[in-house]
Amino acid sequence: MNATRQLHELGQSLWLDNITRALLDSGTLARYIRELSVTGLTSNPTIFDQAIRNSSDYDAAIREKARTDVSDEALFFELAIADLSRAAALFLPVHQDSSGVDGWVSLEVSPLLAHDAAGTVASALALHRQAACPNLYIKIPGTPEGLIAIEECIFAGVPVNVTLLFSCAQTLAAAEAYLRGIERRVAAGLDAHVQSVASLFISRWDVAVKDKLPSELSNRLGIAVAQQTYHRAQALYSSARWLKLSVAGALPQQLLWASTGVKDAGLRDTAYVEALAAPRTINTMPEKTLLAFADHGHLGAPMNPDDDAAARLAQFSAAGIDIDALALRLQQEGAQSFEKSWHELIGCIHRKRAELLPA
């Protein structure tokens, strides 16, 4: 049994943090599902920018719309939904077999809306309707404005992948938004079964504090934050408040480990995947990391939900790291980075439209 299958048997979902038309056309994604136990997929503006910029796979679809009055942004969402719908169809059997717990794909609202709650809600509802896909998450950033939008979208019945979370506090705030949305649905007599995941970014912590810590703490902060978050999430979903919603049919907002590709060349390329093995969680990993783990990954003891990481995080505080301040900075920088990628993506589509205009 290969390592990816072992991780799947442990109870953790393996999702691919990538999508390209070539992955679909070549049958590679289908093979990953069949051979590597991949049960879901995530995307973001950077992934689509690279897919469209570095191939001609989208040229025919762009050429078809080149002379129309469809905006560059609307054209992007048409391209993305076309790809994600195909991927979602491949994952639909596992989605159905897991009663909707697994087998999801994700589409992000425009990062330009990260600080616009009303705009995010309107976009999320429109994209959800446009895709008409039962296993598509709408990705919304966990910014203060995003949290308002998340509650409203959950109440409206839109499945949400909360992105750009960096700390336990931010993740619990996302959980609160989810719970409020579900509680409002229950109070209104609506179905409580609206899914959500909370995407906690891991490796960016270690990049941010590189060369600021003693060697024994190097590349350990992201994992410690994940351990603390896992511990606190287990407590939340054992509470009386949650049990009441569970009886009504609600499912926990699953923890999703994001940014699990190694950034430090001196670190084992499967280090984050191995450290974050935990039942009832998701790890979305870059293709390179997925293949590395399948080839030489080692599955040790799973993360212990009873292991409070507060003592380990205290070591980082003692070394001069302000966890809360850094988490806020990482979220703000992440939002800015996604906004930059968005401008590059839309600019790429605009240029291709001009280049591909029919004679």
Here the contacts of 56-59 (C-beta below 8 Å, separation 24 or greater) are 57/20, 57/21, 57/22, 57/25, 58/21, 58/352, 59/352, 59/356
Structure tokens at 188: 């209104």
Could you tell me if 297 and 274 are in contact, meaning their C-beta atoms sit under 8 angstroms apart? yes
Which of 117, 128, 127, 113 minimizes the C-alpha distance to 194?
Answer: 128
What is the residue whose two structure tokens read 């994952």? Answer: 91
- For residues 167 and 122, what is the distance between their CA atoms, to the nearest angstrom? 27
Amino acid present at 166: F
Concatenating the DSSP letter of every residue in 289-307 gives HHHHHHHH----SPP-TT-
Question: Using CA atoms in the order 279, 246, 285, 30, what is the torsion angle rounded to 10 degrees?
Answer: 100
- For residues 255 and 229, what is the distance between their CA atoms, to the nearest angstrom? 9
Structure tokens at 68: 């129309």
212 has catalytic annotation: no
The secondary structure of the chain in percent helix, strand, coil, rounded to multiples of 5, reads: 55, 10, 30
What is the residue whose two structure tokens read 């992440």? Answer: 334
Of 139, 212, 340, 352, catalytic: 139
φ, ψ dihedrals at 67, nearest 5°: -95, 0
Q: How is residue 27 annotated by DSSP?
A: T
Contacting residues for 203 by C-beta, under 8 A, at least 6 apart: 222, 259, 260, 261, 262, 263, 272
Which residues, listed in sequence order, are joined to residue 38 by a DSSP beta bridge?
14
Which sequence positions are flagged as catalytic?
139
